[in-house]
Amino acid sequence: MGVLNTDSAKLRAAASELDRIKNDTLQGLGRYMTMNSDLTGGGFGGNAALASLRTTEDVATTGRNVSARFDSVITAMNSGAAEYDRIESENQANIASVATSS
């Protein structure tokens, strides 16, 4: 069986990068939704404009769903890093106590 080396700082950094990507994507979707809403609110009307607005709302809903999934992954990564740090500290304390009791 191989050895698993975990670097909790790198795990947290990756989670932070995913959070940045998520936020950038949501901001882009927000700009798209605003731009499309502005178009339908102005001189454009009719069935095509309404269909475009519905599509925009579908895109926004998908964006929120993807964001929630990103949040789940980010939370799991941060929790995993915290758990690894906790276990690593316990292991170091146990090894230290064995070394001093010999």
Measure the CA–CA gap between 64 and 29, rounded to whole angstroms. Answer: 10
Task: Quote the pTM value.
Answer: 0.73
Domain spans of the chain? 22-97
pLDDT at position 102 over 60: no
Alpha-carbon torsion (79, 85, 91, 94), positive or negative: negative
Amino acid at 45: G
N-to-C CA span, the chain? 30
Instruction: List the Cα angle 54/59/64 in 5-degree steps.
Output: 125
> Using one digit for the tens of pLDDT, what is the confidence trace for 65-101?
999 999 999 999 999 999 999 998 998 888 888 867 6
Residue of higher predicted confidence among 6 and 78:
78
